[in-house]
Structure 1
Amino acid sequence: MSHVVLYGTRFCPFCTAARRLLTAKEIDYQDISVDNNPELRGKLITKSGRNTVPQIWFGNQHIGGFDELRDLERQGTFNATLKAGVESGETVSI
């Protein structure tokens, strides 16, 4: 099981952009759809404190959405943040 989790929808352009970034960096991640699942969507909002998608976790560390993911890459802190989240040995549970 991957320690990187993306919650998103199929047709969200920010979800697509996040998937492309993770794939380009060759990151193994779990892609969980909240399409047609209002219960899961509600739990996601409660856990993340946000009502937008995507919502991304590295381990149990909430990264945020695509903007935050892209900012990590631009700031050069993506790999260190990923390593810290994955080394926690935990995976987010919603």
Structure 2
Amino acid sequence: MADVVMYTRKMCGFCTAAKKLLGDKGVAFREFDATFDFDLKQEMIAKSGRRTFPQIFIDETHVGGCDDLFALDKQGKLDEMLAS
């Protein structure tokens, strides 16, 4: 199973939706809550080039945010990435 990392923040509907999608697929992921952690947020921005939450990585590949994750699922590509 792939290594999935998600940078999140509290009270984020997009974060909740992305976590639910992965949870429904039975995917374990490491969550980094950057709500009150400036350094963690800076790390996320440096890795992804984006400032919005969530930012999701699968096996070191930057997937993007919630909409990107759902788009991959709709295209049938997410399961393939998660199986690697």
Any unmatched runs of 5+ in structure 2? none
> What secondary structure is seen at the aligned counterpart in 1 of 2:57?
strand
Extract structure 1 runs of 4+ deviating beyond 6 A.
none
- Give the residue type in structure 1 aligned to 2:68: E
Q: Which residue does the alignment assign to 1:79?
A: 79
2:58 maps to 58
Q: Quick one: which amino acid aligns to residue 31 of structure 2?
A: D
Shift of 1:82: 2.0
Q: Given residue 41 of structure 2, which amino acid in structure 1 is its aligned partner?
A: R
Residue equivalent to 2:19: 19
**In 2: Cα distance, 1:24 partner to 1:83 partner:** 15
Name the TM-score, length of structure 1 as normaliser.
Answer: 0.83
1:7 counterpart letter in structure 2: Y
Give the Cα separation in 1 of the matches to 2:53 and 2:43.
13
The root-mean-square deviation of aligned C-alpha atoms, in Å, is: 1.2
Higher alpha-carbon deviation: 73-82 or 18-27: 73-82
The answer for the alignment partner of 1:33 in structure 2 is 33
How many correspondences in the alignment? 83
Q: CA deviation at 1:28?
A: 0.7
2:30 paired with 1:42: no
Unaligned runs of 5+ in 1: 85-94
